Amino acid sequence: MNFEQADPAIKKLLSDYFDLMHHQDMELFDKVFHKNCCLYSTQGGTASIRPYEVYREVVANRESPASVGNARRDAVLDFDQISGTLAWVKVQLEMFGGVMQDYLNIVFIDGQWFIMAKMWERVGDSEA
């Protein structure tokens, strides 16, 4: 499915996600990530698994990309909606000198769309 054809609520979730990651608005964090979500990565060959509370604390206690002057170049690279309650999105954004790509598993639960799982990797360096 083309992302342009996605449910407007999914588009809003992604817009809020990009705003959250650039500005670190913690009210958006609580609207975007489900309280039972988890973040996964493998940096330096070691698995990193961060549940909601741990990831929320990390985001809340770092400087935002906006505050350090990072350019904002957000993109939805791929999208698939499996059902009325489950979808997957591949996104790219820039922060802290890096180009990041995320796989976001999103679910419709409790009357709204949330990110339930996020896998991320730094795939390159930001443009100057």
**CATH number of residue 12's parent domain:** 3.10.450.50
In a domain, 128, yes or no: no
Mean pLDDT of 66-86: 94
pLDDT of residue 39: 95
pLDDT of residue 45: 84
Mean pLDDT of 62-77: 93
In a domain, 90, yes or no: yes
Mean pLDDT of 11-26: 96
**Per-residue pLDDT tens for 37-52?**
999 998 778 999 999 9
How large a percentage of the chain has pLDDT more than 70?
98
pLDDT of residue 10: 96
In a domain, 19, yes or no: yes
Helix (H, G, I), strand (E, B) or coil at 116: strand
**Domain total in the chain:** 1
In a domain, 109, yes or no: yes
Domain that holds residue 111: 3-121
Q: What is the DSSP string of 56-103?
A: HHHHHTS--TTTTT-----EEEEEEE-SSSEEEEEEEEEETTEEEEEE
- Model pTM score: 0.93
